[in-house]
Amino acid sequence: MSAPVIAMQCNYAYLDKLFTSLKSLLYHNRGLTVYILNPDIPQEWFKNVNQQLNQIDDTIIDLKVDQSLFAESKISFGERLNTMTFDKLLLPKLLPEDRVLYLDSDIIVNRPLTALFNLDFSNPLAAVKDLNSPEKEINAGVVYFNNPVINQQKGIVDQLMAASKQPGLTNADQSVLSDFFYPQTKFLPRTYNYEVGVEGYAVYNHLDRIIDELAQVNDPTIIHFDSDDKPWNLVSTVRYRELWWYYNGMSIRDIIDHVTLGTNKPQWSKLRGPLICLTNSQDLSHLVELVTTLPEYQFEIAARTSMGPKLLALLKYPNVSLYPGILPRVMTDRFNRASAYLDINQGTKDEKAIQRFLKLGKPVLAFNSTASMSGNDQYLVFGDDQVGEMAAWIRELD
């Protein structure tokens, strides 16, 4: 098999996001040729990256695309897309290679793509059905182009470009590719384009079909953050946020060591705990004292709604994580990982959540002024002046 060919696209302003996607790809795959379609990424960036990657036979190619070609193209979701989203329509004409795997810049690759690279298909495209419109659209975040088959249709790229300028495109380039190729597409398993970004929308709108389909994949190969709820936002509800930041913090040296020596980039320094609190208010008794007294513990503050400035200000503490608008699967995961629940929020309590945590056989800690039930061996109540005693008890926990 010839060296796998990848295409990605972004402008300079989005380069740090693409670089995170690229690092995740290179960490799990070797001997790649990666074209980056762009209008303005400096040549020196490519030189720096390639100088390091030549040790492991990967090549990153600078492919400039004139964005004036798409001046009349119709953008959907204009607040987060621009004309660059149409660049992929040029791939059958721009690149000489037969097979090109296109990847969006808001994905992470979380395992080798060998099976996908070895895929035998005679269709013009291979892609995953779009979660929102599975009966009529592919999701264009991961698309395997079979260029010889596509180019059998004379002038196909010109036709795609013309279609991009027509009004009424629901999903920009995705709608164009789907209109031309959906019936002929080889459909891939959901693991190759796990649209985790859609999950929050599906939960809030009770779209059980989408929730159930996402639940069927436990450990996806390509994770796609395809909504405004990006993992690099100040706070977000989307799952796999920590995984995105893991790859973001990865260096080229980490990748080279992994490929050549089999070493793995270490996770962030592991803190003890975590200690979790699901709150309905911004007022948490003695939280800052606990956070500063127990810097070796991870504190996780969750809410079913958005969070106000008082809670957001807690992000200045490196051992505090916030989960606004927490999704059911995220809450299950955090409850399973937590060492103890802190029932220290003022105001209305989420008693079902507290009972659920207690059923896990784990302790719940409260102060007299915040306790939602009587104390017992599992639900421990401390005096409001006993922050030190609570901290000491937590240190004995694990």
Predicted pLDDT at 166: 86
The highest-level CATH class for domain 272-395 is: alpha beta
Domain ranges of the chain: 5-261, 272-395
Predicted pLDDT at 16: 96
Residue 28 clears pLDDT 80, i.e. is over it: yes
Predicted pLDDT at 46: 97
Round to whole Å and give the CA distance between 170 and 140: 13
Q: How far is CA 395 from the centre of its chain?
A: 33
5-261 homologous superfamily: Spore Coat Polysaccharide Biosynthesis Protein SpsA; Chain A (3.90.550.10)
Residue 265 clears pLDDT 80, i.e. is over it: no
Predicted pLDDT at 76: 59
203-243 pLDDT, tens digit per residue, is: 999 999 999 999 999 999 999 999 999 999 999 999 999 99
Cβ atoms of 339 and 251 within 8 Å: the answer is no
Identical fold, 5-261 and 272-395: no
At 74, the pLDDT band (50, 70, 90 cuts) reads low
Round to whole Å and give the CA distance between 385 and 68: 66
Cβ atoms of 164 and 73 within 8 Å: the answer is yes
281-291 pLDDT, tens digit per residue, is: 999 999 999 99
159-177 pLDDT, tens digit per residue, is: 999 988 888 888 889 999 9
Residue 271 clears pLDDT 80, i.e. is over it: yes
Predicted pLDDT at 75: 65
108-162 pLDDT, tens digit per residue, is: 999 999 999 999 999 999 999 999 999 999 999 999 999 999 999 999 999 999 9
Nearest to 117 by CA among 182, 178, 33, 173: 33
Average pLDDT along the chain? 92
